[in-house]
Chain A
Amino acid sequence: EVQLVESGGDLVQPGRSLRLSCTTSGFNFGDYALSWVRQAPGKGLEWVAFMTSFLYGGTTEYAASVQGRFTISRDDAKRIVYLQMDSLNTEDTAIYYCARYRCTGYYCYEEYWGQGTLVTVSS
């Protein structure tokens, strides 16, 4: 069974940093691209970041709203994907979900999702 479990969400002050982790099981981690998607309270879904497997170079992409502030990374030995979030602001308040992609070439969609971890940015 594919499982993704996020952790690291917390209440942080604006301008501070936070690192989220997503621990996985039930699939061959090294074969898959992964993403982070967030959902502000009462709002819709917003894609945040993407990372391919190292088989495809470990390529990363980011939403414009987080480019330069957030960094996605992965540790294949530990089966964990991370989201380093710097210079947080109140608009980053959201539930953050990690997801495993299913890809056909360039085209990738989120097939499995974790339950999410809440990040609250407030003074």
Chain B
Amino acid sequence: EKVMTQSPATLSVSPGERATLSCRASQSVSSHLAWYQQKPGQAPRLLIYGASTRAAGIPDRFSGSGSGTDFTLTISSLQSEDFAVYYCQQYNKRPETFGQGTKVEVK
């Protein structure tokens, strides 16, 4: 199975600042990489698929990049509603696997 590793585990950012989250795959997943946002007590929400395509209704301050084994989620200017846990997921080969998550918290 392909192991996904996210860094950092926790990211402390001030509102309005930029946040950069990383995700690394143990083997190439091509561009079959998704990002999800999860707030406490809520289900995950799809942000990005195909490594860089925003899902419907996702603000353009969220952007994804990368291919192969190294991926990045960037939030250009953090809003209060963006403080949450973010997961990457590879769907190149089943079992689909998730990273352990990056918590974005208020600095």
Contacts and interface: CB of A to CB of B under 8 A. Distances in A.
Chains A and B belong together in one complex: yes
Interface of A: 37, 44-47, 50, 61, 63-64, 97, 102, 107-116
A44 B44 CA distance: 11
Interface of B: 32, 34, 36, 42-46, 49, 55, 87, 89, 91-92, 94-101
Contacts of A111: 46, 49, 55
A3 B91 CA distance: 23
Contacts of A61: 94-95
A116 B44 CA distance: 10
Contact of A44 (B55, B91, B92, B99): B99
A110 B95 contact: no
A113 B44 contact: yes
A50 B89 CA distance: 15
B46 A110 contact: yes
Given A44-B87, A44-B100, A45-B87, A109 B46 contact: yes
10 contacts: A45-B44, A50-B96, A97-B44, A107-B32, A107-B91, A109-B32, A109-B49, A109-B89, A109-B96, A112-B46
